[in-house]
């Protein structure tokens, strides 16, 4: 699952591939925005933990990963 996180006052977004489902990511984001947690905490496919202060979230985009293209052929 590809997740893009926009952070206020940051020029670039955070992009990660997560093994969590879209519903799990949405639940964690909703809890952070509701004030149940001060940090948005997600784990990527490599086991790295990404922490973002909930009050600095600008947006979270949840989508399917794009298939990687291999080779030189035009499709």
Question: What pLDDT score was predicted for residue 51?
Answer: 95
Phi and psi for 22 in degrees, rounded to 5?
A: -60, -40
Q: What is the CATH number of domain 1-61?
A: 2.30.30
**pTM (2 decimals)?**
0.80
Domain boundaries, the chain: 1-61
Decide: 6 and 63 in contact? Cβ < 8 Å.
Answer: no
pLDDT tens for the chain, 75 residues long, are 899 999 999 999 999 999 888 999 999 999 999 999 899 999 999 999 999 999 999 999 999 866 666 777 665
Question: What pLDDT score was predicted for residue 61?
Answer: 95
Rounded to the nearest 5 degrees, what angle is found at the Cα of 46, between the Cα atoms of 38 and 62?
55
């Amino acid at each position: 699952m590809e997740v893009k996180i926009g952070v206020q006052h940051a020029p670039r977004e955070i992009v990660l591939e997560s093994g969590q489902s879209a519903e799990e990511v949405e639940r964690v984001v909703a809890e952070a925005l509701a004030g149940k947690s001060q940090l948005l905490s997600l784990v990527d496919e490599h086991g790295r933990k990404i922490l973002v202060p909930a009050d600095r979230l600008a947006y979270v985009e949840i989508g399917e990963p794009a298939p990687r293209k291999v080779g030189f052929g035009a499709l």
